[in-house]
Amino acid sequence: MNFYKFQGTGNDFVMIDNRNKTFPIDNQLIKKLCDRRFGVGGDGLILLENAEEADFKMVYFNSDGNESTMCGNGGRCIVAFAKFLNIFEDYCKFIAIDGLHEAEISGNNVKLKMSDVDEITENNGNFVLDTGSPHFVKFVENLHEYPVYEKGKEIRNSLTFRENGINVNFVEILDKNSIFVRTYERGVEDETLSCGTGATASALAFIKDKNLSEVNVNVLGGNLKIYAKKNHNSFKNIWLEGLATQVFFGTIDLNNF
């Protein structure tokens, strides 16, 4: 089987062209492929498949082997992968688990349209919202020194969120239109270098009571930009922009893996 490795601001994925439907979808196999010691290594695995109503379909699995909700950086990476496969030129539409997405690509820069967000709810001074995946957003100070893994794991496994899990974002305000975000991701069960839906959720929580339509988001793996149109407590025309690049490609014998 041929595979490719892509990364978007340090969020890395095993990418497979599954338009011929030959990949054996098995949770343990996917988990092993994502293992950084015994497999290829990645925060997740993504299948690119055919779609009648769009240019292609995205099927995303977390590194624990389970199919999951929308992944923003994974979405940007599959756009770069589809461009590499000559599926489209500069603009595409694709189907993901949360519906239809649009995207534009220029070089290694990918701009991905995210799902609309109907509301942001407050939770003891923090925020909860769904940007294709569920997110908890907490504003803190001195984020470089903050115990993200310990606090993220605690919130993700709390009684409120334990059943379905939630991604936990810690946000430090840098200036009037810039934030720094670190994220503990469910399914990975660890901090990742970047989370696209988490960066989006954090940006929306940041501009909830501000007159802003663009936010610069610094993550451990690089920089992202979020665009959004606010209407009271809801948001539309949300775009996630950043670099997505191919790291390497190879082949693997699944019969002896």
C-alpha to C-alpha distance for 87 and 55, rounded to whole angstroms: 7
pLDDT of 238 above 90: yes
Do the domains 2-113+244-252 and 120-232 sit in the same CATH topology, yes or no?
Answer: yes
pLDDT of 233 above 90: no
Element (H, E) at 223: strand 222-231
pLDDT digits (tens, 9 = 90+) for 190-222: 999 999 999 999 999 999 999 999 999 999 999
Residue 255: strand, helix, or coil:
helix
Q: Please report the pLDDT score of residue 90 as a whole number.
A: 97
Fold of 120-232: Diaminopimelate Epimerase; Chain A, domain 1 (3.10.310)
Mean confidence (pLDDT) of the chain: 96
pLDDT of 232 above 90: no
* Residue, of 55 and 256, whose pLDDT is higher: 55
For residues 206-240, one letter each, b for 16 or more C-beta atoms within 10 angstroms of the residue's C-beta and e for the rest, the string is bbbeeebeebebbbbbbebbbbbebeeeebeebbb
Other CB atoms closer than 10 Å to residue 36's CB: what's the count? 11
Q: What percent of the chain has pLDDT over 90?
A: 95
Active site annotation includes 195: yes
pLDDT digits (tens, 9 = 90+) for 106-153: 999 999 999 999 999 998 999 999 999 999 999 999 999 999 999 999
Catalytic annotation, pick one of 34, 71, 77, 92:
71
Strand partners, 185: 190
The binding site comprises: 11, 62, 72-73, 167, 185-186, 196-197
Give the single-character DSSP code of 90.
S
Residue 85: burial class (beta carbons within 10 Å; 0-12, 13-18, 19+): middle
| For range 214-243, the mean pLDDT | 96
Indicate the domain borders of the chain: 2-113+244-252, 120-232
Q: Please report the pLDDT score of residue 55 as a whole number.
A: 98
Q: Please report the pLDDT score of residue 203 as a whole number.
A: 98
The binding site for substrate comprises: 11, 62, 72-73, 167, 185-186, 196-197
pTM of the model: 0.95
CATH superfamily for 2-113+244-252 is Diaminopimelate Epimerase; Chain A, domain 1 (3.10.310.10)
Catalytic annotation, pick one of 34, 77, 92, 195:
195
Q: Please report the pLDDT score of residue 158 as a whole number.
A: 96
